[in-house]
Chain A
Amino acid sequence: MSLLDYHVLLALAGGPLYGYAIKETVAQESGGAVTPRAGSLYRVISRLTTAGLVAEAQPTEEPPPHPGHARRYYALTAAGRRELSTEAARLKRSAAMAQKRLGVAPGRP
């Protein structure tokens, strides 16, 4: 799972979002480290959809009115939720390992 995949899933774990909102959330939650461009973002959405981790969904709140086409909202599927928690657990272990190593061997190049 790529960093962008992870962050998109993470963003959607908070509730259904549409494309632009996903991008904003991802940028914010990653502290600006991940700022996907349009092409990459929608391909990731497409891939996650095809893989069954994300699905189109109804927004939880009535979306604010805006001109043009209706926005598509995406939400995590059950599989997506599982996948995200697995990945989160992995990241946690990995982060702990990193901290431990850095802690036991301070100052080593």
Chain B
Amino acid sequence: MRSLLIRMVRWLPRGFREQFEFEMIEHIEREYVAARSRGRLAAIGYSLATAADLARNAIAERWRPTWTRPPIATEEDKDMKSLLDNWMRDLRHATRALARSPGFTIIAAGTLGLAIGVNAGMFSVVNRVLLNPLPFPNNDRLMAISASAPGSDFPPEFGVSPEFFIQYKEQSKLIEDLTTFNSFTNTLRVEDRVERVRMSWPTTSVYSTLGVKPILGRLPVAEDEDRVVVISHALWQSWFGSDTAVLGKVYDIGGASRTIVGIMGPEFRFPDDGTVLWISNTIRTDQVRVGRFGDRLVARVKPGVTPEALAAELTTLASRLPDRFGGSPNYRRLMGQHRAVVRPARDQVLGAVQRPLWVLFGAVGIVLLIACANVANLFMVRAEGRQRDLAVRRAIGAARRELVRLQLAETVVVAALAGAFALLLAYAGLPSFVHAAPPNLPRIVDVKLDGVTVLFTIVASLGAALLCGLVPAMRASSPDLTRLREGGRGATRGKRLLRDGLVGAQTALALVLLIGSGLLVKSFWGLRNVDPGYETENRMTFQIAPEGPAFTDGAAYARFHMDFMERIRALPGVESVGIVENVPLNEATPLAPFRTEEMSTNPDAGKRLRYTFAAGDYFSTMGIRVLRGRAFPGRDLKGTFGSVMISRSAAEQLWPGQDPVGRRLQLQGQTAWSTVMGVVEDVKQNNFREEGQPVVYFPLVVEGSPEWLVASPAYVVKSPRAESIAPEIRSLVKEVAPNAPMYRVFTMERLATDSMVQLSFTMLTLGILSALSLILGAVGLYGVLSYVVAERTREIGVRMALGARADQVRRMVVAQGGRVVAGGVAVGIVAAYWTTKLLGNLLFGVAPLDALTFLAMSGSMVLVGLVASYLPARRASNVDPIESLRSE
């Protein structure tokens, strides 16, 4: 007990102990002996009371030392004004001190500013895109509703049919208001200008559901049926020069004459950024045809309604649909399997873009941490250089918090400079970042340096100042008074541990980013090397939509397209040309049930396959391999009558293990049968990640179904001049069909690049960030080792004087760096183990724990670390023993 008390005396600060330690110990021993003589219990009581007293006073003494002269004007310090004065004085002092060492200031403020700048930029994107994706009031109550039917042959999730809207609107108790809509591209004709634009066809309730009003004109009402449109602010500006006279005008919009009645504000974007006009729509119960799935539905729910509760209610409501509206046995069975899918509209809008943005936001956060660690180390080295100064200040009575404040003042000044630099950087860099970002990010065009971002930058700068200033400041505030002795120097173990820890942490964080971007690079590489089933090089695609009284049926359109293909084929440099209704990477193919002659006539039998239309030399132009049979004849429309081409997996589904050529299949609901002419390779229709799809290719004219017409297919042109041939085709269109807009003009190469933009954008940004962090980490290691070498110059000099060889000295320094890096790499690997799974579905063909990537990146990290250590090591081995000893 007694020895414990004596040990507790050491809790008092050193200065206090120097004065009182021996007396206190003697004092306690005497008291203890006296207490012990009164009995064991008395001794225990004494010990406990004294221990509590020692602990209390040790804390009090450390907090408010009594053994030095009290700081002058302690009373004043309590008063805010003088506190502010003190800060101002310290800030001025810090500014002067920093101005005297511009190199340090520029490096520290530059490092921090760069890191805060990328954070500010990324924050403005996250704030706009992820936190405020919907410019509608109370958008947390907006829910996107779709359908699923587990166990059916429908896709995992699909759009609803109009009868759902009626049922939900009339019977849901949780929904306040809702709208159903679909979106498409169609022709907008204003005088001479003809273009295909994105339009949407929502019920008139869309505006009340979203809670929006037009800035000019009125909203559609039920009596308008589908004869009026509301246009976007962007369309109003670009097509009509912001002229209010456009209200009430009638134009050819989406294939009919419609009147413009309203103009929305610039903030209104629905359902996506590209939609420029909204055609009015009213759904009437008596006109509904059930089972026409594919529409989207957005509801405003009552406050507090969860997606789960709504989904349960809507599933029940939908199960009663067949009793109310009738429908086929198929429909009835489907409604039995139907489960409503409800998710916040916010999630629906953001979809797949959330993950990359959060990953990148996390990455810039890591960069900021690394920069803070770096700058903290710089400050620590700087404080080291003024230990004597601080020790003197402390000895003549500066209070501890005054020293902390003095140190913090410098970091505050540096952080302020960094913040200003960061704002400048964000201001200059944001536009190009936004430009490079995937265009499908909602509201990305609205991203700019706004007030919230400026506020974020200020907070981030102050946070960074605290983060990278507090530790050095705390250390500096308790200077080792032995420094006052002549020649006292040498880092204590604690300081070295902290410095090494900071460098190790930087290494670990940088490695996490490196591994992450390594995995993305590998994914991108894998994706680029996927065989999609077609070629993308030297191919271009476009669409035209011929219109006019001559186009009465499918055959008329088919003749036009066959002729136009002939015209294109005649252009110089064109090798071949073909058309397809839905060109890969640009449009999806629809699903429909098919059956073969071998299947029963039961209407339920059949396979749901995708289908599209193709003509000309489509397959050879796209480089899609013909596996069996032969392709449609390129120029002979009649030669394709009654035939289809099918893809490999369609053949496997319809006739497993048999030769499908010559067999017959039928689209359910049609009467005509089609004979399989050939089998082609599967193609990846929507992106390179998916599996090849089973597809049935119909010819342009389908026998027995005159209502099936292909009005505006996509042309595919194979030419070495794919990049530059578009203007020639455009003038050809002007010549042949002056009214037909030409649109969706892309090279296939461009479509392929766009389909990977999410990955490539994330990969590039993360790559830049990890390069940045690697450089910061290397600079940090280099800086610390250089300092250590400078500090140990004398020791190294002695070693060399005693016969140490230069290579031994080099090895010693490199080993010291190597230990720190190895520790950091070990921690980094563990951290990466937990974080790479966040990359989730961004990865392709590579596991989140890909050993090769982990190994390669760790190896590069170690290599960079060794190089960063070698430079100071070489300097150390060049130490001249005589010089180094003289310098003391």
Interface residues of A (CB under 8 A from B): 18-20, 23, 37-43, 45-47, 49-51, 68-69, 71-72
B824 to chain A, nearest CB (A): 43
Q: Is the CB of A45 within 8 A of B50?
A: no
User: Could you say which of A39, A50, A71 contacts B57, with CB atoms under 8 Å apart?
Assistant: A39
A27 to chain B, nearest CB (A): 11
User: Could you say which of B26, B53, B69 contacts A40, with CB atoms under 8 Å apart?
Assistant: B53
Interface residues of B (CB under 8 A from A): 12, 16, 19-20, 22-24, 26-28, 30-31, 49-50, 53-54, 56-58, 60-61, 66-70
With CB as the reference atom, state the residue of chain A lying closest to B20.
Answer: A42
Cα distance A50–B58 in the bound complex, in angstroms: 17
Cα distance A20–B30 in the bound complex, in angstroms: 9
Chain B positions within 8 Å of A71 at CB level: 23, 26
User: Could you say which of B30, B31, B66 contacts A43, with CB atoms under 8 Å apart?
Assistant: B66
User: Could you say which of B19, B27, B60, B61 contacts A38, with CB atoms under 8 Å apart?
Assistant: B27
Chain B positions within 8 Å of A69 at CB level: 22-23, 26
Chain A positions within 8 Å of B58 at CB level: 39
Main secondary structure of the interface of B (DSSP, over half): helix
Best-buried of A40, A46, A71 by chain B (most CB within 10 Å): A46
**In the A-B complex, the 6 residue pairs with the closest CB atoms:** A39-B57, A37-B53, A47-B66, A46-B66, A39-B54, A69-B22
Q: Is the CB of B66 within 8 A of A50?
A: yes
Cα distance A40–B60 in the bound complex, in angstroms: 10
Best-buried of A38, A40, A69 by chain B (most CB within 10 Å): A38
Q: Is the CB of A68 within 8 A of B26?
A: yes
Chain A positions within 8 Å of B20 at CB level: 19, 42, 45-46
With CB as the reference atom, state the residue of chain B lying closest to A71.
Answer: B23
With CB as the reference atom, state the residue of chain B lying closest to A42.
Answer: B20
User: Could you say which of B23, B31, B68 contacts A42, with CB atoms under 8 Å apart?
Assistant: B23
User: Can you add 4 more A-B contacts, CB < 8 Å, to A43-B16, A50-B66?
Assistant: A39-B54, A39-B57, A40-B53, A50-B67
Q: Is the CB of A39 within 8 A of B69?
A: no
Chain A positions within 8 Å of B27 at CB level: 19-20, 23, 38, 41-42
User: Could you say which of B23, B57, B61 contacts A18, with CB atoms under 8 Å apart?
Assistant: B23
With CB as the reference atom, state the residue of chain B lying closest to A23.
Answer: B27
Can you name 25 A-B pairs with beta carbons within 8 Å? A18-B23, A19-B27, A20-B23, A20-B27, A20-B31, A37-B49, A37-B50, A37-B54, A38-B24, A38-B27, A38-B53, A39-B24, A39-B50, A39-B54, A39-B56, A40-B53, A41-B27, A42-B27, A43-B16, A43-B60, A47-B66, A50-B66, A50-B68, A71-B26, A72-B23
Cα distance A68–B66 in the bound complex, in angstroms: 26
Cα distance A69–B29 in the bound complex, in angstroms: 14
Cα distance A20–B56 in the bound complex, in angstroms: 20
Q: Is the CB of A38 within 8 A of B50?
A: yes
Chain B positions within 8 Å of A41 at CB level: 27
Best-buried of B26, B50, B56 by chain A (most CB within 10 Å): B26
B37 to chain A, nearest CB (A): 16
Chain A positions within 8 Å of B19 at CB level: 46
Knowing A38-B24, A38-B31, A43-B60, the reply to whether A50 touches B70 (Cβ < 8 A) is yes
Cα distance A38–B61 in the bound complex, in angstroms: 14
Cα distance A43–B56 in the bound complex, in angstroms: 11
Best-buried of A18, A37, A50 by chain B (most CB within 10 Å): A37
Chain B positions within 8 Å of A72 at CB level: 23
Best-buried of B27, B31, B53 by chain A (most CB within 10 Å): B27
Chain B positions within 8 Å of A20 at CB level: 23, 26-27, 30-31
Cα distance A20–B33 in the bound complex, in angstroms: 13
B376 to chain A, nearest CB (A): 34
Q: Is the CB of A19 within 8 A of B53?
A: no
A41 to chain B, nearest CB (A): 8
Cα distance A18–B20 in the bound complex, in angstroms: 11
Knowing A46-B16, A71-B23, the reply to whether A38 touches B54 (Cβ < 8 A) is yes
B417 to chain A, nearest CB (A): 40
Q: Is the CB of B57 within 8 A of A43?
A: yes
Q: Is the CB of B28 within 8 A of A38?
A: yes
Cα distance A46–B67 in the bound complex, in angstroms: 6
With CB as the reference atom, state the residue of chain B lying closest to A20.
Answer: B27
Best-buried of A43, A47, A50, A72 by chain B (most CB within 10 Å): A43
Best-buried of B23, B28, B53 by chain A (most CB within 10 Å): B23
A33 to chain B, nearest CB (A): 16
Cα distance A49–B67 in the bound complex, in angstroms: 8
Cα distance A69–B19 in the bound complex, in angstroms: 12
A107 to chain B, nearest CB (A): 39
Chain A positions within 8 Å of B28 at CB level: 38
User: Could you say which of A23, A45, A50, A68 contacts B69, with CB atoms under 8 Å apart?
Assistant: A50
Knowing A38-B53, A50-B68, the reply to whether A43 touches B61 (Cβ < 8 A) is yes
Chain B positions within 8 Å of A42 at CB level: 16, 20, 23-24, 27
Chain B positions within 8 Å of A37 at CB level: 49-50, 53-54
Best-buried of A23, A39, A69 by chain B (most CB within 10 Å): A39
Cα distance A50–B61 in the bound complex, in angstroms: 13
B828 to chain A, nearest CB (A): 46
With CB as the reference atom, state the residue of chain A lying closest to B70.
Answer: A50
Best-buried of B50, B53, B66, B68 by chain A (most CB within 10 Å): B66
Cα distance A23–B16 in the bound complex, in angstroms: 19
Chain A positions within 8 Å of B24 at CB level: 19, 38-39, 42
With CB as the reference atom, state the residue of chain B lying closest to A37.
Answer: B53
With CB as the reference atom, state the residue of chain A lying closest to B53.
Answer: A37
B657 to chain A, nearest CB (A): 92
User: Could you say which of B22, B53, B54 contacts A68, with CB atoms under 8 Å apart?
Assistant: B22
Chain B positions within 8 Å of A68 at CB level: 22, 26
Cα distance A43–B70 in the bound complex, in angstroms: 14
Cα distance A18–B23 in the bound complex, in angstroms: 9
